[in-house]
Amino acid sequence: MVFRALSLLGLFTVCLFALRTLEGAERPNVIVILVDDLGRGDYSGFGTPDILTPAIDRLGREGMTFNNFYANSCVCSPTRAALLTGRYPDQVGVPGVIRHTVDNSWGWLDPAAVLLPQSLKAAGYHSALIGKWHLGLESPNTPTERGFDDFHGFLGDMMDDYWTHLRGGQNFMRRNREVIDPQGHATDLFTEWACDYLTGRAAVRDASGQAVPFFLYLAYNAPHDPIQPPVEWVERVRQRVPGIADKRASLVALIEHLDSGIGRVLDRLEKLHLSENTLVIFTSDNGGVLGHGAVNGPWRSEKQHMYEGGLRVPAMVRWPGRIAAGSRTDRIALTMDIFPTVLDAAGVEAVPVAEGISFLPTLVGQVQENTTRDLYFVRREGGPPYGGKTIEALIRGDWKLIQDSPFKPLELYNLKSDPGETTNLTSQEPRVYQELSAALRRHIQQAGRIPWQEP
């Protein structure tokens, strides 16, 4: 009886400690940094010789680098929807890009979808979005209506100018619901606002005197076109890399300017003594644009396409003391996996419906086998090349089925033997082709039940 009592007491003590570690300051702060159109190889830590990105490299050096991380789509809005819902984007009404022109907008975020800041709120988190939203321009799909306590950024899909911040002559810059007209380069503004947010949150305490955890979604629009780095940054690149092509010099400068902003955010965390209890996740929404001089590594194609170059993206995660510095993983993960991972780290047990799978065990050094699942990618688009139809890809193990144009036949590749997707095996592997085609049709049928235009 005494032993049993001691056992129960020990169990109670362990449970009490577990509960305490999920309270207040013990819950980690979370920063998700999403950049726009950064190619898989466009950072110096990848080995690309003409670019210097010390901040991005630092995240890899001090945390874990994913060798096989995929964006949920080859374009912006679907990937962002996947990140914030943990679901395939067409399951929440965002199969394509949401734009300010109604006749060329291909998504409408399902009002019933549960977003990450809404789930974190139940655990006591304060949530902010700084930067690019791109999931709706009007009620009910604005950031503060979808769970964010604070929004300081840009509602639209892109800026026609990094300095004026306009899109189609319209101003989509907002401070919560207020229209604002700030002065400066968009990258610098988002960096400054992020640093200000961190400074403000560092001083906040709850009724018991403990720090209130925060979730900061920092969504830069760089290095999306127009490629407009500050002039002095281009000159730095030209001096360091003589003979570099004009397009490449401008893109490298825009990325390096972005990297300096990320570095300022990381430095502010250090200054505020927040780094040790902050989980930082860095990735991109899709691959880079080759026409702008992007480097997507050895993989085929670019943004807007379902080949590997359009879907593979950089990904690093840092959490000092929890994630081994300089570690790497071959685990296959997608943008939508960030959602359950963050909730897992925050100790949120009531996870909404999600196709994403937490990779927290991998981050903290536990054995986590690659989950057996089909990976599905979709994009709906207008214009003559697409006609309002979709393009898709489905990966099952080593096999990838792809339809990169709605008007061309499906293609089949073996990514293990042919990572460059050079040899179409549809005729050589009819059984695999039929099996993956059937699986792809099932995904398309499921998506057909979800409205992607406002009723």
What top-level class would CATH report for the domain 27-363?
A: alpha beta
Given a cut of 60, whether residue 20 has pLDDT beyond it is no
Q: Which two tokens stand for residue 246?
A: 């004009």
116-135 pLDDT, tens per residue?
Answer: 999 999 899 999 999 999 99
Given a cut of 80, whether residue 31 has pLDDT beyond it is yes
Please tell me what DSSP assigns to residue 303: T
What confidence tier does 369 reach under pLDDT thresholds 50, 70, 90? Answer: confident
User: What's the whole-number mean pLDDT along residues 9-38?
Assistant: 61
Given a cut of 60, whether residue 74 has pLDDT beyond it is yes
Instruction: Decide which of 3.30.200.20, 3.30.1120.10, 2.40.10.10, 3.90.550.10 is the CATH code for 375-447.
Output: 3.30.1120.10
Q: pTM for this one? A: 0.94
Bridge partners for 392 per DSSP: 378, 403
Distance CA 28, CA 25 (A): 7
Q: 56 or 7, which is more confident? A: 56
Percent of the chain exceeding pLDDT 90 equals: 91
Q: 229 or 352, which is more confident? A: 229
Distance CA 55, CA 131 (A): 19
Question: Residue 101, class by beta-carbon neighbours within 10 Å (0-12 exposed, 13-18 middle, 19+ buried)?
Answer: exposed
Domain ranges of the chain: 27-363, 375-447
* Residue 225: C-alpha distances to residues 85, 293, 303 (Å): 26, 11, 12
Q: What share of the chain is helix, strand, coil (3-state, %, to 5)?
A: 35, 20, 45
User: What's the whole-number mean pLDDT along residues 150-164?
Assistant: 98
314-336 pLDDT, tens per residue?
Answer: 999 999 999 999 999 999 999 99
Residue type, 308: E
What confidence tier does 350 reach under pLDDT thresholds 50, 70, 90? Answer: low
pLDDT of residue 370: 81
Given a cut of 50, whether residue 440 has pLDDT beyond it is yes
**DSSP E strands, 205-265:** 214-219
Q: 449 or 21, which is more confident? A: 449
pLDDT of residue 395: 98
Q: 354 or 100, which is more confident? A: 100
What is the enclosing helix (H) or strand (E) of 152? strand 150-154
User: What's the whole-number mean pLDDT along residues 163-168?
Assistant: 97
Classified as helix, coil or strand, 296 is coil
What is the enclosing helix (H) or strand (E) of 30? strand 29-35
CB 193, CB 151: distance < 8 Å: no
Given a cut of 60, whether residue 7 has pLDDT beyond it is no
Distance CA 252, CA 294 (A): 8
Nearest Cα residue to 134 out of 84, 188, 175, 70? 84
Strands 64-70 and 278-284: unpaired
Q: Using omega within 30 degrees of 0 as the cis cutoff, is the peptide bond preceding 140 cis?
A: yes
What confidence tier does 15 reach under pLDDT thresholds 50, 70, 90? Answer: very low
